[in-house]
Amino acid sequence: MEYKRLQRALTLLFCIIAFGTCGYYVVEHMSVFEAFYMTLITISTVGFSEIKPLTIYGRIITIIIISGGVTLGAYTIGMLLRMFIEGELRRSLGRRKLEKNISALKGHFIICGYGRIGKVICRELQAENIPFVVIEKDRSKIEVLEDQGYLYIHMDATSEEALIAAGIKNARGIVPAVRSDANNVFITLTAKGLQPEIFVLSRASDEKNEAKLKRAGAQRVVSPHLIGGRRMAQVLKRPTVVDFIDIAMMESHLGLMMEEAKIGPNSDLIGKTLIESQLRQDFGVIIVAIKKPTDEMIFNPSPSERLEAGDVIVVMGKKEDLKRMTEVL
């Protein structure tokens, strides 16, 4: 609405200028430049004298310009100033609110780069209401982040200042997902220097750089092109298995999903076997695997497998049942 009013005001102002220029040119026989100059000094009310004495018709033209042009010019300039000041004020207040929300985050993830991989990660985290903040230096992507309502930092993710502003001291993990593997290595090194215990999941554009990223401190490295190629090959070789994995890993029309839950230090399940825990009977879940605190992975555990504090149970079941089970654990 504001822009439409401004457009109409500018159009009318242009018409007044065109009327004055043509009027002085035809009636007072001024040159085009002199007629244009005379119109502008009349609208702006700067007080310069007339270029030459005007006839009665020239003065009528001047009266019309003053009556319409001065008011219209002041209105247009005022509207431009108001839009500029309001826009700056809105951006300033919005930025302050954004910084306040980011500083209040705890246990969140930091996503470095809002490219094709970063978009997917943000969408998945948003769907599960998992807090995160994006660091992106490309100005063209900032508007998209604002439209999505994501928390973001408009800085270079390779700088310490950007990671500190994103709250790395309180973050749960960081995802270097920019295109350059060299930058991902640098982000990983910087993040580990600021927060040695932080979990780092890094993207690798080239498979050969996975080892470098792990040496830099990344616990997990993912190569999207490699995973994509392997998945396509699996669809060709084992389509049913891939369909099952899709059902297990992502919410489907069946309402099933695969989840992990960690046994807390005060859980009543500590010391019990799987059959004694009655997880299957109480929550209707399937125990797929158990990851021990020593990182030992036990697949398809037997009913006599004993649970310990810190065990991570990988289960499959309905979302609401998994939520109840996680709360108990």
In the prediction, which pLDDT does 176 show? 95
How far apart (Å, rounded) are the C-alpha atoms in residues 238 and 245? 11
The whole-number average pLDDT for the span 286-299 is 88
In the predicted model, what is the mean pLDDT of the chain? Answer: 84
Q: What is the fold, at CATH topology level, of the domain defined by 256-328?
A: Alpha-Beta Plaits (3.30.70)
Q: What is the fold, at CATH topology level, of the domain defined by 2-99?
A: Helix Hairpins (1.10.287)
- Predicted confidence band at 326 (pLDDT cuts at 50, 70, 90)? confident
In the prediction, which pLDDT does 218 show? 94
The number of angstroms, rounded, from the C-alpha of 80 to the middle of its chain's C-alpha atoms is: 30
Task: Break the chain into its structural domains and give their ranges.
Answer: 2-99, 105-227, 256-328
Whole-number Cα distances in Å, 73 to 23, 44, 80, 89, 221: 19, 8, 11, 24, 61
**From 69-73, 122-126, 159-163, the region with the lowest mean pLDDT:** 69-73
**From 92-101, 114-123, 316-325, the region with the lowest mean pLDDT:** 92-101
In the prediction, which pLDDT does 131 show? 94
pLDDT exceeds cutoff 70 at 88: no
pLDDT exceeds cutoff 70 at 47: no
| Neighbouring residues of 92: CB distance < 8 A, sequence distance ≥ 6 | none
Contact by Cβ (8 Å): 137, 161: no
What type of residue sits at position 311? D
- Predicted confidence band at 127 (pLDDT cuts at 50, 70, 90)? confident
How far apart (Å, rounded) are the C-alpha atoms in residues 216 and 121? 22
pLDDT exceeds cutoff 60 at 297: yes
Whole-number Cα distances in Å, 1 to 13, 219, 223, 294: 18, 52, 47, 63
Q: What is the fold, at CATH topology level, of the domain defined by 105-227?
A: Rossmann fold (3.40.50)
Tens digit of each residue's pLDDT (9 = 90 or more) over 152-180: 999 999 999 999 999 999 999 999 999 99
The whole-number average pLDDT for the span 202-229 is 90
In the prediction, which pLDDT does 321 show? 79
Percentage, residues of the chain above pLDDT 70: 90
Which pair of structure tokens corresponds to residue 227?
Answer: 């995973």
pLDDT exceeds cutoff 60 at 6: yes
More confident residue, 56 or 176: 176
- Predicted confidence band at 294 (pLDDT cuts at 50, 70, 90)? confident
pLDDT exceeds cutoff 70 at 249: no
Tens digit of each residue's pLDDT (9 = 90 or more) over 23-36: 888 888 888 888 88
More confident residue, 255 or 191: 191
Whole-number Cα distances in Å, 65 to 117, 126, 290: 59, 58, 84
pLDDT exceeds cutoff 90 at 230: no
In the prediction, which pLDDT does 280 show? 82
In the prediction, which pLDDT does 242 show? 80
